[in-house]
C-alpha cells in the first residue's frame, strides 16, 4: 500500500467498449447524469483504457460495485456472484483482472454487505411468499405483509436509511454471515486484490469483520481491506480492528479547507454530518489537524490509509474549487505528499466537474482530454515524483512550520523520510506571496528543488509565490 496510487472507477461512466450488445436504451454519454439512467460504461472499456492509466502512473484500481444490480451505481445488489451483464459479465471481469495484473495494476472491489436490494433472490422470496418464505430470517421484518414498492408508506422491514429498495441483511443469522464471507473469498480466489467495504460500521454483529478478514487473508495474505468510515477510525485499523486502512475523509476535508479555503463553491459541497470543508483553514490550523491525524494512527496504518480529494459520494474537487485548476493542484500536492495511498477519482486529472450525487458521476470526457493540460501534467508529475521518491512513500512525517497554534500562517511546511532520503514540502495556499523562515539545517541552501515554483533566499528562507508548492530533497 505504501507504493500504491489508486484510481477510482465508477464503471457505468468511465468507458464504453461497444462490445456489450444487449439492446440497451442508454443515456447520451455527455448529458447530465441521473439517479436512474445508464450510460453504458463496461469492463471491456476499462481494459481498453488500461494503457492510459498505466501511463498516468496508476498501479491500483478501486471499482465501485460491479455485481448484478438494477441501479447505475450498483449499490442495490441482485446477485453477488455475477458481474452485471451490462458491464460484460464474469467473462469481462476475468479478462480485466488478467489485463490489469499483466501491467502490475492491482484491483480492489466494492463490497456492499450491510444491505442488498429488492431484487436480491432471498428478499424477493419473502416479497412473494411473505411470512411463509424460507428466507424469513435473512432480513428483519417487523410486520407482514411487506410491500417493497409502496414507497408512500414506511417500510415494514429494516431498510438502509429507510429506503425500501435497500433491505438490511440480518448478519446475526448464521446463514447470512456464511453467505457474505463466501462472497468475500470467492472474488479474491477469482483474482481481486482486496475489498473496499461499504458502511462497515453499520454491521453490528460481533466478530463479523474479524472473520471476514481471516477468511479473505487465508486466500490471499496480501489482500487489502479498507472501510468506508467518514470519521476517525482508530478502532477499525491495525491491531485494534479488522481493516488495514480506511477512507481518510478527515484528511480530505482538512485538505480542501486549506487548499481551497473560503474560495470554495458551497453549492458543490455534499451534505454529510461528517464532512466539514468549511470554514477555511490557515496553515497553522491545517497543520494542527494533520498532527492530530498523524497521532491517531501508527506507522503501518498511516501508509495503508486510502487518501482522496473526492469520490462518488461528494462534489468533485474541480467544482468545489470553482473551476480553478491552481487550487486543485494545491490540494493534489497535499494528497501526493502526505502519508497514505493517494486515490484519484476518475476524470479529476482532466478537470471533470460535478456537484453532489448524481452530478459527480458524469461520463469521462474522452473527447475533451486536453481541456486543462496544466492539471493533467501536474497529476502525472506528482505521481511520477511519488513513485521515484522513497520518502514520499514512507510513514515518517515531521511538522516544520508554522509552529503549533491555529491562528496564523499561509505556508505549511513538513518533512517526509529520514537521512539522505529526507524530503521537505512547502505549500502556500494564499493568493499572496509568503516567506517561510526555515533553518538551513532543515532545508540546505543547496537542496535540490524536485517540484514546484518556490525558491530559497540567501538567508535560507522559503520564498513562496502565491498558490505555490516547493518540494526539496536532502542535500
Task: Return the active site residues.
Answer: 198, 228
Angular region, 74: left φ>0, alpha ψ -120 to 50, beta rest: left
Dist CA 213 CA 95 (whole Å): 26
- Alpha-carbon dihedral sign for residues 14, 15, 19, 20: positive
Q: Between 325-337 and 249-259, two packed helices, what is the crossing angle to 10 degrees? A: 140
C-alpha cell, 467: 498558490
* Residue 321 contacts residue 353 (beta carbons within 8 Å): no
Angular region, 130: left φ>0, alpha ψ -120 to 50, beta rest: left
Dist CA 64 CA 46 (whole Å): 13
- Alpha-carbon dihedral sign for residues 26, 32, 33, 36: negative
* Residue 196 contacts residue 248 (beta carbons within 8 Å): no
The C-alpha cell 454483529 sits at: 205
Amino acid at each position: 500500500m505504501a507504493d500504491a496510487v489508486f484510481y477510482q472507477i465508477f464503471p457505468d461512466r468511465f468507458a464504453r467498449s461497444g462490445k456489450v450488445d444487449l439492446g440497451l436504451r442508454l443515456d447520451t454519454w455527455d448529458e447530465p447524469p441521473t439517479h436512474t439512467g445508464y450510460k453504458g460504461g463496461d469492463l471491456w472499456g476499462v481494459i481498453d483504457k488500461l494503457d492510459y492509466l498505466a501511463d498516468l502512473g496508476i498501479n491500483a484500481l478501486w471499482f465501485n460495485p460491479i455485481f448484478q444490480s438494477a441501479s447505475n451505481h450498483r449499490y442495490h445488489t441482485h446477485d453477488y456472484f455475477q458481474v452485471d451483464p451490462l458491464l460484460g459479465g464474469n467473462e469481462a471481469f476475468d479478462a480485466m483482472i488478467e489485463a490489469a495484473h499483466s501491467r502490475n495494476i492491482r484491483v480492489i472491489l466494492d463490497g456492499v454487505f450491510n444491505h442488498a436490494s429488492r431484487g436480491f433472490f432471498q428478499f424477493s422470496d419473502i416479497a412473494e411468499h411473505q411470512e411463509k418464505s424460507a428466507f424469513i430470517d435473512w432480513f428483519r421484518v417487523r410486520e407482514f405483509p411487506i410491500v417493497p414498492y409502496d414507497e408512500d408508506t414506511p417500510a415494514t422491514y429494516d431498510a438502509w436509511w429507510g429506503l425500501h429498495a435497500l433491505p438490511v441483511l440480518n448478519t446475526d443469522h448464521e446463514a447470512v454471515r456464511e453467505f457474505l464471507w463466501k462472497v468475500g473469498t470467492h472474488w479474491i480466489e477469482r483474482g481481486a486484490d482486496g475489498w473496499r467495504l461499504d458502511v462497515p460500521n453499520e454491521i453490528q454483529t460481533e466478530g463479523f469483520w474479524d472473520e471476514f478478514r481471516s477468511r479473505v487473508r487465508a486466500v490471499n495474505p496480501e489482500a487489502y481491506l479498507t472501510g468506508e468510515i467518514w470519521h476517525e477510525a482508530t478502532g477499525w485499523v491495525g491491531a485494534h480492528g479488522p481493516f488495514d486502512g480506511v477512507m481518510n475523509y478527515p484528511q480530505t476535508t482538512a485538505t480542501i479547507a486549506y487548499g481551497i479555503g473560503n474560495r470554495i463553491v458551497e453549492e458543490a459541497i455534499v451534505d454529510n454530518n461528517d464532512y466539514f470543508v468549511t470554514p477555511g483553514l490557515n496553515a497553522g490550523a491545517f497543520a494542527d489537524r494533520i498532527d492530530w491525524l498523524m497521532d491517531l494512527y501508527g506507522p503501518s496504518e498511516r501508509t495503508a490509509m486510502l487518501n482522496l480529494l473526492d469520490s462518488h459520494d461528494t462534489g468533485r474537487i474541480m467544482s468545489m474549487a470553482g473551476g480553478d485548476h491552481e487550487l486543485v493542484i494545491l490540494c493534489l500536492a497535499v494528497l501526493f505528499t502526505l502519508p497514505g495511498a493517494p486515490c484519484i477519482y476518475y476524470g479529476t486529472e482532466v478537470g471533470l466537474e460535478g456537484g453532489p450525487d448524481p452530478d459527480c458521476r458524469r461520463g469521462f470526457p474522452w473527447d475533451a482530454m486536453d481541456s486543462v493540460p496544466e492539471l493533467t501534467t501536474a497529476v502525472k508529475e506528482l505521481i511520477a515524483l511519488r513513485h521515484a521518491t522513497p520518502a514520499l512513500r514512507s510513514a515518517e512525517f515531521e511538522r516544520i512550520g508554522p509552529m503549533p497554534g491555529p491562528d496564523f500562517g499561509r505556508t505549511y511546511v513538513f518533512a517526509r523520510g529520514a537521512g539522505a532520503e529526507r524530503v521537505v514540502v512547502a505549500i502556500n495556499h494564499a493568493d499572496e506571496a509568503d516567506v517561510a523562515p526555515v533553518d538551513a539545517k532543515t532545508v540546505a541552501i543547496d537542496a535540490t528543488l524536485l517540484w514546484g515554483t518556490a525558491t530559497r533566499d540567501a538567508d535560507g528562507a522559503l520564498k513562496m509565490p502565491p498558490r505555490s508548492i516547493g518540494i526539496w530533497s536532502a542535500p
